Chains A and B, each alone.
Chain A
Amino acid sequence: DGGITQSPKYLFRKEGQNVTLSCEQNLNHDAMYWYRQDPGQGLRLIYYSQIVNDFQKGDIAEGYSVSREKKESFPLTVTSAQKNPTAFYLCASSKRGRGIRKLFFGSGTQLSVL
């Protein structure tokens, strides 16, 4: 079955450490997204990518980095510069174009600071 796989489900980060969240999709979608969700808040866009080897910053990109070397994969690195990384992270993908636009989501990664 097609879908989006996020791993790990839970992740712990030590002070000064970089951690990488994995996101893989087999839906053949061009566009992929990373959102951050904090309690009581909506989804805030960190980064998004419309095509391979191209990505744009969202509203809260500081302290995060991404790469898009393959269509299927869009990993997110939470760097030590992100001082408040504890949150639920959602990866999503979408086809581009009219008539077929909707977001498909992975099951999320809960990141906590040790």
Chain B
Amino acid sequence: AQTVTQSQPEMSVQEAETVTLSCTYDTSESDYYLFWYKQPPSRQMILVIRQEAYKQQNATENRFSVNFQKAAKSFSLKISDSQLGDAAMYFCAYSPINTGNQFYFGTGTSLTVIP
């Protein structure tokens, strides 16, 4: 079974501070993609960042970066200089390369940004 676990249902951060959201996954595959998606109150799902498992370098997109630990099957998201617009649900997702183009999602972390 391929599962994605987000152990923090809710997190909060002060505006301009840094926060890290956790994600672990369980798989026997060696080649896959990992994603973080953001769902603001509009409920539109937005891709925040993507990591390819064969790349050792951690992905970065402006204020968003990941800490990818393949051996530990861990994929955390760091948000620096948090802004009010970062308040949203964040979903971690996993997609194996060789099994039918499927995507598996965690249960999400609700992030509150405190002004």
Chain A residues engaging chain B, CB cutoff 8 angstroms: 31, 33, 35, 40-43, 45, 48, 50, 56, 88, 90, 92, 94, 96, 98, 101-103, 105, 107-108
Q: Are A102 and B35 neighbours in the complex by a CB distance under 8 Å? A: yes
Main secondary structure of the interface of A (DSSP, over half): strand
Q: Are B44 and A101 neighbours in the complex by a CB distance under 8 Å? A: no
Contacts of B1-44 to chain A: CB distance below 8 A: 4, 6, 9, 33, 35, 37, 42-44
Give which listed residue, A96, A105, A107, contacts B101 with CB less than 8 A.
A96
Contacts of B59-96 to chain A: CB distance below 8 A: 91, 93, 95
If the complex has contacts A42-B106, A103-B103, are A108 and B43 also in contact, measured as CB distance less than 8 A? yes
Q: Are B105 and A42 neighbours in the complex by a CB distance under 8 Å? A: yes
